[in-house]
């Protein structure tokens, strides 16, 4: 047990050190930008996975990222609100919309949730495209200012004008979102989610309010999708209706399907591997969606536990071997 904890701690320390050192390791601003977007995609993949832990598939995840991004952009650009308040309001609004949609569609078992989230994702795109004030219609909102500096008395102000500072901002926010969802997943609430996914009739019979828990998972996941959308607009400096489409929602599903859904490392691994693959596919960019769609189908039909399932099986084999080797040595 002790050995395991030590292993875990050192793993986290090394991981954190690498993440902090990324701007030093990748001095090329293009590469840094790619890594920043990878972090946003990881956050969105994890929040999509969080909803899926109750056994629901959401096809409107990009729509909630759009709600977050658009709302925060409009509040900043048109109403002069501060970045941090706008982030908070964007997340809460995404959560409230998720609550209403979830409350209406999750009461009834069946196809309704999938259908409603799919339609919602498209409606959001249409609505933002049609709404000129304050959302800028089809052009969207351009030339957003960089996020407000954080001023703590006695310390120099933390500005967010450079790419490097935006990377750290994205890192801190995305990481805290991922850690919160991971902790929730490991808490008793996460166990209830798992129970609902595996046998919702049984969970209902032992007195669990399955609708309430499904809505809760959906609301939390969508709040962090909203955060992902805000981080996107902070980094890009603009947002258009075409930024978040149904196809974008399909990307989050492929991250989870390839990575595996058993724990938080699945979607993280899936998002990282596929984003790196996407960089390699850049010369043949137009074929990327076809490759990804085939990967999505293949992963669902053939790769049951996802990549993380493979990694864990390998890890167990290796540790069995090392245990056997060390016991022999003694």
Partner 1 sequence: MTLEILLQPLVYGLQIGVTYILLALGLTVIFSIMNVINLAHGEFYMLGAFTVFYMNGLLKVNYFLALLVSVVVVAAIGILFERIFFRPARGRVVPTVIVGIGLMWLLQTAAQLIFGAQPRGMKEVFQGSVSFLNINLSDSRIVAGIISMILVAAVYLFIYKTKQGKAIQAVAQDREAAMSLGIDVGKVGTIGFGLGCGLAGVAGGIMAPIFFVEPTMGTTTLIKSMSIIILGGVGSIPGAALGGLILGIVESYGQTFLGYSATTFPFLIILLVLIFKRTGLMGRAA
Closest to 31 (Cα-Cα) out of 271, 322, 321, 282: 282
Residues 128-187 that bind partner 1 (CB under 8 A): 130
| Cα-to-chain-centroid distance, residue 23 | 22
- What length is written for the chain? 330
Nearest approach, Cβ of residue 111 and partner 1 (Å): 5
Q: Tell me how many degrees the CA angle 196-4-12 measures, rounded to the nearest 5.
A: 80
Of 27 and 282, nearer to partner 1 (C-beta) is 282
- Write the interaction track for partner 1 spanning residues 277-296; mark x where CB under 8 A is met and - where it is not: ---------xx-xx-xxx-x
Under the binding rule (CB under 8 A), the answer on residue 8 touching partner 1 is no
Under the binding rule (CB under 8 A), the answer on residue 127 touching partner 1 is yes
Among 2-10, 83-91, 200-208, 243-251, the segment contacting partner 1 (CB under 8 A): 243-251
Of 247 and 314, nearer to partner 1 (C-beta) is 247
Under the binding rule (CB under 8 A), the answer on residue 119 touching partner 1 is yes
**DSSP state string for 55-100:** T---S-HHHHHHHHHHHHHHHHHTT---HHHHHHHHHHHHHHHHHH
- Alpha-carbon span 90 to 174, nearest angstrom: 15
Among 140-148, 164-172, 249-257, 316-324, the segment contacting partner 1 (CB under 8 A): 249-257
Q: Please list, in sequence order, all residues whose beta carbon lies within 8 angstroms of the beta carbon of residue 159, skipping any fewer than 6 positions away.
A: 146, 149, 165
- Write the interaction track for partner 1 spanning residues 18-57; mark x where CB under 8 A is met and - where it is not: ----------------------------------x--x-x
């Amino acid at each position: 047990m002790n050995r395991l904890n030590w292993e875990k701690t050192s793993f986290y320390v090394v991981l954190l050190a690498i993440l902090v050192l990324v701007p030093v390791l990748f001095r090329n601003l293009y590469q840094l930008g790619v890594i920043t977007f990878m972090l946003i995609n990881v956050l969105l993949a994890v929040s999509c996975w969080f909803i899926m832990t109750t056994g629901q598939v959401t096809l409107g995840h990009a729509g909630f990222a759009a709600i977050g991004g658009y709302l925060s952009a409009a509040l900043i650009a048109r109403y002069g609100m501060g970045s941090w308040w706008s982030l908070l309001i964007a997340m809460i609004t995404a959560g409230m919309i998720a609550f209403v949609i979830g409350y209406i569609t999750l009461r009834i078992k069946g196809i309704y949730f999938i259908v409603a989230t799919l339609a919602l994702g498209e409606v959001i795109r249409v609505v933002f495209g049609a709404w000129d004030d304050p959302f800028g219609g089809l052009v969207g909102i351009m030339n957003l200012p960089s996020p407000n500096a954080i001023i703590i008395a006695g310390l120099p102000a933390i500005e967010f004008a450079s790419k490097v500072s935006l990377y750290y901002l994205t890192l801190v926010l995305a990481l805290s979102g991922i850690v919160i969802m991971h902790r929730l997943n490991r808490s008793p609430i996460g166990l209830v989610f798992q129970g609902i996914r595996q046998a919702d009739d049984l969970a209902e019979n032992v007195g669990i309010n399955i609708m309430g828990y499904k809505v809760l998972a959906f609301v939390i996941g969508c709040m962090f999708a909203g955060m992902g959308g805000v981080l996107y607009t902070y980094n890009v400096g603009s947002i258009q209706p075409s930024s978040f489409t149904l196809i974008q929602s399909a990307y989050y599903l492929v991250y989870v399907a390839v990575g595996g859904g058993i724990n938080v490392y699945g979607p993280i691994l899936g998002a990282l591997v596929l984003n790196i693959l996407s960089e390699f596919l850049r010369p043949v960019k137009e074929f990327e969606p076809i490759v990804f769609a085939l990967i999505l189908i293949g992963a669902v039909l053939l790769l049951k536990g996802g990549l993380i399932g493979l990694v864990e099986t390998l890890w167990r084999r290796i540790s069995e071997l090392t245990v056997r080797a060390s016991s022999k040595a003694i």
